[in-house]
Structure 1
Amino acid sequence: MPETPKPPKTTEASEAPDPAQKFDRAMSVWKEWQEAPWGRLRYAIAEANLVRHCEALSDGPLRVLDLAGGDGGDAVRLAARGHHVTIVDLAPAMLEAAAGRAREAGLADLVDCVEADVDRLPAGLAGGGFDVVLCHNLLAYADDARHTLGAALAPLRPDGLFSVMALNRHSQPLTVAVRETDLPAAVAALDSDRAGTRMFGSTLTLHTAEEVTRHLTGLGCRDVRHYGVRSVCDHLVDDARKYEPAFYAELERLELALTDRHPYMHTARLFQLIARKDG
């Protein structure tokens, strides 16, 4: 039940293989993951955290940029609330799926899909003016987290909202110990910032909320709020029960109650930071 991040930023053609093709091939497995309880929780909690900030930002529709937005898991939820969302991703199959999801929901007019690199956005996007920018599950693939965050912040207007989500390094030893009962590996994970994902066949870089908060403040962000995503779910080994509607409903209720409560967000499987960009 690992978190399976979405496509990374592009690599040079001389570096094999093409990452977009790798993610396109994993589409069916990715869809299954999204529909599983842990995938549903990841999106539900992220949406709830965003909504409380978006409502404070404006009463009207917002312009949202979803970087590495994949097949629209975050975007369509926000579009359903009346916001206009532009998804940027490198994988054509992911973007095709996002467009299809928007059409099925009757939201095609509110969702645009752009095939592009976070570091080389088209001029119309890179120029700024977005009210909200999402950078969810991208840092795990970035060679330089600060550089990636800086590129992601560039299109955001002054006083706009920035949301970054990443795998939490603090959770890795617990996850390995509880899910795999591999205690030596759990000890080794205490001093490692690397983990693998079977779905996309990649080695991931793990971060902490504290590290990323320092990057954000150094890049001109303020009012950084820390949330935990899946504080409990990944430490419950009975995955079958999570598919039971009543149990899932109670689990979601618990996760929402813990998302901003100390100390639980520090060991959640993912962290989400929502900040304001200085004017």
Structure 2
Amino acid sequence: MSETAEKFETAMSVWKQWQEAPWGRLRYAIAEANLLRHFGERAGEPLRVLDLAGGDGGDALSLAARGHHVTIADHAPAMLAAATERAAAAGLTDRIACVEADVNALPAGIARGEFDVVLCHNLLQYVDDVRRTLAASLAPLRPGGLFSVMAINRHSAPLTAAVREMDLAAATAALDTDQARTQMFDSALTLHTAEEITRHLSDLGCQDLCHYGIRSVCDYITDDARKHDPAFYDGLERLELALTARHPYMHTARLFQLTARKHLR
């Protein structure tokens, strides 16, 4: 195995552990709950969902289990292979399709797919041109369709450094930079705020924008071991659901999620 392949395999293993940890479970549970708020009368019918940079299917499998048809587009073959395996294990192969593609170079059939829902979760921090990526993400969505974008919240960076790492100098520095780094995938990140992305979405013609916070308190509780206790986790999830759309907590949550409707022609 090459050094690059071994590094990615290790990252995949860490990623799986992260997904199964309380903070990973919260990320998916709260995001799905916020999405379901906007399905409305169509919640009981199969929807066509496009999950951009959907990785190994963390969001897709849950939506497919609810009866929706999900296309995962991702540029990493190993992630798509993992998604395919997870779909097969869950008996959801007929509801999940995987396509190797970059969000800014989607195949014509997907780019003009007229999807009911498009997800763009945890992608923006990795791209150079946010406006271009958002425009490309909205292109496959039918008029009036639901768009959901999620990213690391820049406002949370100083708090994370101060509360979790007890590094006051790093917290002070984080106030004046949008740059960060992820150890899991050894990648540079550009952090954004919900206010910044909201302006882009409004300029691109989106309507009915809603702002949610994900992990509003979880990341600021330093006793990670306690979060594995089932009773404590249940209480934490209830609190996170209560805070997700409540001012001012969404502004300092570790992640922000924005939902919007694509403008009607």
Answer whether TM exceeds 0.5 for this pair: yes
Q: In structure 2, do the counterparts of structure 1 residues 259 and 84 end up closer, same or farther at CA, with 3 Å as the change threshold?
A: same
Partner of 1:92: 77
CA deviations on 1:7-61 (whole Å, 9 max, x unpaired) are xxxxxxxxxx99x996555111100000000000000000000011123455411
1:244 lines up with 2:229 in the alignment: yes
Q: In structure 2, do the counterparts of structure 1 residues 143 and 238 end up closer, same or farther at CA, with 3 Å as the change threshold?
A: same
1:50 lines up with 2:35 in the alignment: yes
Task: Give the Cα separation in 1 of the matches to 2:22 and 2:173.
Answer: 29
The structure 1 residue matched to 2:105, chosen from 90, 115, 120, is: 120
Q: In structure 2, do the counterparts of structure 1 residues 22 and 62 end up closer, same or farther at CA, with 3 Å as the change threshold?
A: farther
1:178 lines up with 2:163 in the alignment: yes
Contact 1:137 1:167 in 2 (8 A): yes
Q: What secondary structure sits across from 1:88 in the alignment? A: strand
Contact 2:144 2:263 in 1 (8 A): yes
Gaps of 5+ in 2: none
1:1-279 → structure 2 map (5 Å cutoff)? 23=8, 25-57=10-42, 59-279=44-264
Identity percentage of aligned residues: 74
Task: Count how many residue pairs are aligned between Structure 1 and Structure 2.
Answer: 262
TM-score scaled by structure 1? 0.91
Task: Give the Cα separation in 1 of the matches to 2:63 and 2:206.
Answer: 23
Contact 1:64 1:86 in 2 (8 A): yes
Return the offset for 1:128: 3.0
Return the offset for 1:204: 0.4
Which residue identity is paired with 1:133?
Answer: V
Gaps of 5+ in 1: 1-16
CA deviations on 1:83-107 (whole Å, 9 max, x unpaired) are 0000001111111111111111111
Task: Give the Cα separation in 1 of the matches to 2:41 and 2:174.
Answer: 39
Task: Give the Cα separation in 2 of the matches to 1:159 and 1:23.
Answer: 38
Task: Give the Cα separation in 1 of the matches to 2:27 and 2:47.
Answer: 22
Q: What secondary structure sits across from 1:93 in the alignment? A: helix
Q: In structure 2, do the counterparts of structure 1 residues 23 and 116 end up closer, same or farther at CA, with 3 Å as the change threshold?
A: farther
Which residue identity is paired with 2:108?
Answer: A
